[in-house]
Amino acid sequence: MNIADINAWLHEQNPDALEELYAMARKTRARYVGNQVHLRGRVDFSNMCRRQCTYCGIRAGNRRVVRYLMSSEEIMACAAAVQARGYGTIVLQAGEDERISAGWIADLVSTIRETYGLTVALSLGERPDSDYRLWRAHGAERYLLKFETSDTVLYRCIHPPYAKSAGNRLKMLKDLRAMGYEIGSGIMVGLPGQALASLTDDLLMFQEFDLDMIAVGPYIPHPHTPLARKFSPGKSKAPDQVANSDTMAHKVVSLVRLLCPEANIPATSALSCISKQGLRFGLHAGANVIMPDMTPPEYEALYDIYPKSRILPPINMYKNIMEIVASAGLVPGFGPGARQRNSG
């Protein structure tokens, strides 16, 4: 698939043609990563964040957010629940904040591994190399750091620098790989100002980085953020503006599968928040991972990065997930679900 093909698919509107794209992606998934949907329990253990990302509901500037940091005991209880469900991986996710100390995370990682034998993936934003190394030494195996968009102008625009330092996430991903992590990244689809041409670049970037995990989610406007206030629905954005629609997100999931056949690709929570069939459709488009949210409900509501529609069915319940996996003709993957190589 070359740039012209990617572009043509991104412009494609015909539902029958798109079904062909999804079918190709499913075929590629079957060939390269098989029929297992890897399950990872996600725990959003803190919404404290010093960053000002203009799209994100838990940005430091949003004073309406009640902030929390779960205790070690609470996090261990979640790890127990993840293990009880038979999931092989726990994803510890939080905002970027110095109150989340590197040593505390290191201890948590090793305790979770020793107590529950879970593979630990971390998603804690931009941290000093020394923190990444420490966590790796304590047994963390995966790190997720989204580059969000390859359009550097747009990137800078939506990520006001913290303490004058604009972290270079692509370099950080390379460094994380060199430290021995499996690396994951991803983008938002439909950011105001995101042009279709830059989405093609994002896809090529995924391929170039040979990422182990790739997450694609639609941008969901959060009313208490500068980005949503600036661009109300229908307001014109870029001339070639990417839609933040479910269809566009599904297309991108399929294209990622075709370009990066071995990657672990989640049907993301953001997808499940914009349509009833979000997770189901993610699998239909070629995804092979689901990350059920195992955050305790009282905190889950406060991890308000984007509005989560309450009318949608609860996607995190064990039996719902099993049903979604089975209805896609796939089987749940209960092991660690590491990235596979050269199996096609």
DSSP code of 37?
Answer: E
Instruction: Give 187's strand partners.
Output: 148, 216
Specify the residue, 75 or 191, whose C-beta has the smaller distance to ligand 5AD: 191
Shortest separation between residue 24's beta carbon and ligand 5AD, angstroms: 26
Contacts with ligand 5AD by CB under 6 A: the residue count is 12
Q: Is 56 in the site for ligand 5AD (CB under 6 A)?
A: yes
Q: How many residues does the chain have?
A: 344
Q: Is 219 in the site for ligand 5AD (CB under 6 A)?
A: yes
Structure tokens at 309: 């529609």
Given 43, 183, 188, 258, the residue binding ligand 5AD (CB under 6 A): 188
Given 40, 146, 159, 250, the residue binding ligand 5AD (CB under 6 A): 146
- Which of these ranges, 156-164, 192-200, 212-220, 252-260, lies near ligand 5AD under the rule CB under 6 A? 212-220
Closest CA to 196 of 335, 12, 340: 12
Structure tokens at 185: 């990244």
Specify the residue, 148 or 212, whose C-beta has the smaller distance to ligand 5AD: 148
DSSP code of 307?
Answer: P
Q: Is 251 in the site for ligand 5AD (CB under 6 A)?
A: no
Q: Is 261 in the site for ligand 5AD (CB under 6 A)?
A: no
Output b/e per residue, 188-217; b: 16+ Cβ within 10 A.
bbbbbbbbbebbbbbbebbbebebbbbbbb
Compute the distance between CA of residue 111 and CA of residue 104 in angstroms, rounded to an integer: 11
Give how far the C-alpha of residue 341 lies from the chain's centroid of Cα atoms, to the nearest Å: 21
Q: Rule CB under 6 A: which of 277-316 touch ligand 5AD?
A: 305-306
- Which of these ranges, 77-85, 219-227, 285-293, 327-335, lies near ligand 5AD under the rule CB under 6 A? 219-227
Given 184, 217, 261, 333, the residue binding ligand 5AD (CB under 6 A): 217
Compute the distance between CA of residue 277 and CA of residue 257 in angstroms, rounded to an integer: 19
Give the binding site for ligand 5AD (CB under 6 A): 55-56, 146, 148, 188, 217, 219-220, 222, 270, 305-306
